[in-house]
Structures are given as structure tokens and as C-alpha cells.
Structure 1
Amino acid sequence: MPTRNGLNQLQESQNQRAIRDVRRISENPQGTISWEQRIFTARAAISTFESTGFVRFPEYAADQILVICALQKLAYPEVDSAGVVDISDWCMAQWLLLLTRNPEDAGALRGLGQNWLARSQAALSRIHRQEGGSSSGSSGRPLSTNDRIGYSSSEEAREADRANVEADARAHTADYVEARGMLIPAVDFLSRAVEITEADGTLTGDLLSEAAESLMHLGNVTYSHNNEQYFTRAIRYLRRATRMPNFRLSPYLQSYLDDYGRLID
């Protein structure tokens, strides 16, 4: 007999079991379930969701967000890993399906932004390693045209120009191009999620921090004549995050705000 969403009882039971399995592998400490078993269970759950059309049914809305978020986190066990491609791709496809149902779905927009941001980390890590953590890599803020205001000598200004020329030369390279290609949609989706949640009163410090991080990274891999806009937006998001109740920035983001916030009105 079909249930109210059109699934038969067997399909409904399969969905519920797959949801429980995803909860189990995402909530249990990593030491209690092997990595191989987690991936096997995740792929089995995805197979079930595909066969039942899980994401097509609005009745599962809360479970859909939970499941896709959990599987997306599983797909990127290390910050700078290339990820488990098939699981990551499935998650992205499901976020897009949710957006076709509701283009204003902030959860789906945020999930897509997180997916693109996670995909960018491998390229950003390669950039950081190649440049030894220099200011134009993924961990710092490059010098911009506006920074020249405080220079005490023409030599310092020339040095800044040389740094920008070198940074722009690196911006042509494959890792920079790859990172930009992933960070641009990350910024777009996360910024849209910020706008929607701000309008409906559900904006959080966590979302603002994620959006700021994506902007910081994009600024670091963008040509010098165009990167200031990203750093400025990042600082403004971080400032707003500090004003959110019961929220604190991570030490890294707080340090970034302390160091560079004074440069932004």
C-alpha cells in the first residue's frame, strides 16, 4: 500500500533504515567504525536514496538536509583532501535538486557553498606548500593598492608593486585557476545564503564565518587589481559574526579580523 508520499511500505522502510545508518556513521566517534565501513555504509545509503527518489519528496525535508550534510562531511575527512569524489558529487547533485524545488532554500545554498569550498582546499593547500606560507598564499592577505597609503618611502611602494606583479604572475598558474573556479561558486552560494537568512531572521555566526572564509580564500587567489573587494566583504562578515549572540570566531578568524579589520571602514 502506498504511503502519502507515493512510496510503498518497503521503500519507506528502506529510507528510514538508510537515514539511521547515515546518522550512525556520522554521530559515532571515528574509532568505533572503520573508515572503510563508513564509506561502504554511505554508498549503500546513497544507493537506497537513489532507488526510492528520497530527495524528490518534500515530506523528508528535515532528513534530507541532515543526510546530505552528514555525507558531505564524510566525503572530506581532511580539510585539504581531494575528497571521496562520488559521495561529494552525489551531495552536490542533491543540493541542486533541492534548489530546483525552492531557489530560496538557504540550507541547500549553504550546502552547495560548503561543497565548493571543500573542493577548493586541495588546490589551496598545494599553493600554500609551494609558496611556503607566503602572504600571497592561502593563509594571508596580499598587499593591495589601498595599502600603499601608509608607506613611508617610495622604496616600500615599489616593493609592494613588485609583490603584486609576482602575485599576479602566480595567478595565471593551474592551481590558482583551479582554486578560483571552485571559490567563485562557493562565495556566490554562501553569500546568497547569508542574504536569505538575514532576511528571515535565522542568520548565524557560523554561516557568516564560512562566507568570510570563502571570500578570504578567493581574494588570495585573485589578481591584485580585483582582490580588495573580497577582503573587504570578508572583514564585514567577520565583524557581523562577532556581534551574533553566543558566538565566537575561531582563533584564526579572530586573528585575521584583528590584523586586517583596521584597514577596512
Structure 2
Amino acid sequence: MIAIGQYNDLRIINKTETGLILTDGDKEVLLPYNLVPPNTETGENINVFVYVHKDGRLLATTKRPLACVGDFAYLTVVDDGEDGVFMDLGIDKDVYVPEKEQKRPMFKGDKHVVYVFLDSSNDRMVASSRLTNFVEEEDIDLDEGDEVSLLIVDRSDLGFNAIVNNKYIGLLYTNELFDELHSGEIRKGWLKKIRVDGKIDLSLQPMGYSHILDNKNSVMEELKASGGVISLGDKSSPDAIYERFKLSKNAFKKIIGGLYKDRLITIADHEIKLFKDEEAE
């Protein structure tokens, strides 16, 4: 069965004046000649993206769209339509966003994170910026500390919303962010906590002891390279700490606290320093 809005491996069965006819053994799809790779022959299989043309025909393309059905993606509004707008998919087919699927009004030139799905009445691809209607909120198949892929959505009162692994939605808290974030960015992140209500708290830094251990070594190496002294301590600003080590202040304090307990450094309000025997090594 041909999956509309997805990639399909189809067999080439015929040539017409306008293109190649492809099939899955049931339905037929047209691949225009200008999209046919060189040296393609009848009888071969070809991987194509399939969509419904405005005249109702199934068309195929060898171009790679910016999103498939089932994807969250950051797309640009390229045209106004009747009761909605069209967004660029990166192929000869734009995706329609009806007014009722717009969380806030969309205008030409705007960029939004949307979810792409099929209109059940006609199998045409449509999109929605009402993301919470499409994310999974139960049976979250993740554990605290897992590394995840994040698509940054927008700013909220508490921080930035992000799509997690193209399935869930979570939150990065403002007071834990030291990088500038922008809608549409793809970031590596970590699952910090799954709350009782099912909401997901996220971090841009790894969680757990192994992360602390790795950064202990980094801080020690940096201290030795800096002559045994670094002008950052317990009361240094979060921004200054992040600029030097790409760590939150909380993580930095845990690391230097561990090094202090190991009698490797001394700590002041705005300075850490190697013990004399460490400097001598």
C-alpha cells in the first residue's frame, strides 16, 4: 500500500509522454521526467516521496521534502490561501495550514514549528501549529538522563518549549539556559525529569555522575593550563561560568565541591586554585 506523504519503494512499469509510471502492485503514481535520475530503467525499483496533486492524482518526487507526514518541522509560510496559508515543503508541493489549525495567525514570510498530517477526507497533506494536539502524553518511552533530540519551538513564561524525539513536548527552564535559543533550532538535550502530571523537564547538559566525572577532569586540566588558578568560584556569575566551561553554575559548584573534598583545590568566592602538590605535578 502506498504511504502518502512518505517515502515509498516503487517499481517502474511504464513510460508516458510526461513521466514514468510507478506502482506498488496496486495503485499507480506518476514521476515527472525532470525528476527521474539518470540511467533509470523500466523494471527497476526507485525510492520516491508520494503526495496528492491538487487535481487529485498521485505524484512522486525524488526531491527530499523538509517534512513527512508524522513529522514536526520548522517551515516558512510562502503564500496565502482561502481560509489558510501554504508553507514551503522544499518540493513542488506546499503544505496547507487551515486557519483552524493555526495557534496564532500566520502570514507570508512567517516561520513556525508545525506538525504534518493527512486530511482524512482527501489524503492531502496539511499542517498544524497546535502542537499539543499531536504530541504523545502517556506511556513516555524515555528514562531520566536519556539523551534526546530537541526541536526548539517557542518561548513560554518559564523557558522554551521543545519537541522531544519527534514525539513528545518538554520544557527548558530559563534559569538553566546560558545559550541563546531560537525557534526551529535542532539541539542535543537530556531528559531531566518526567513529572507526575506527565510533563517533561529538559536540560541542554548531560545528567548523572559520569558527566560530573568527565567535567572534573576538564576543570583540572584547565587549572593546570592556567598556572593553577582560575578566577571563578562559589559566587561567580552563571554567565561567566558558562562562558568558560559551558556548565551551569549548579553543575560547576558540584564539580569544584568534589575536587575540594578530594583535596585537589581550594575554593574562594571568585577563585579556585590547585593545591601546591598538584601544581608541582
Asked if Structure 1 and Structure 2 have the same fold, meaning a TM-score greater than 0.5 normalized by the shorter chain, the answer is: no
TM-score (norm 2): 0.24
Return the structure number with greater strand share.
2
Larger Rg: 2
Return the structure number with greater helix share.
1
TM-score (norm 1): 0.25
Q: With CA pairs under 8 Å and 6+ residues apart, which has the higher RCO, 1 or 2?
A: 1
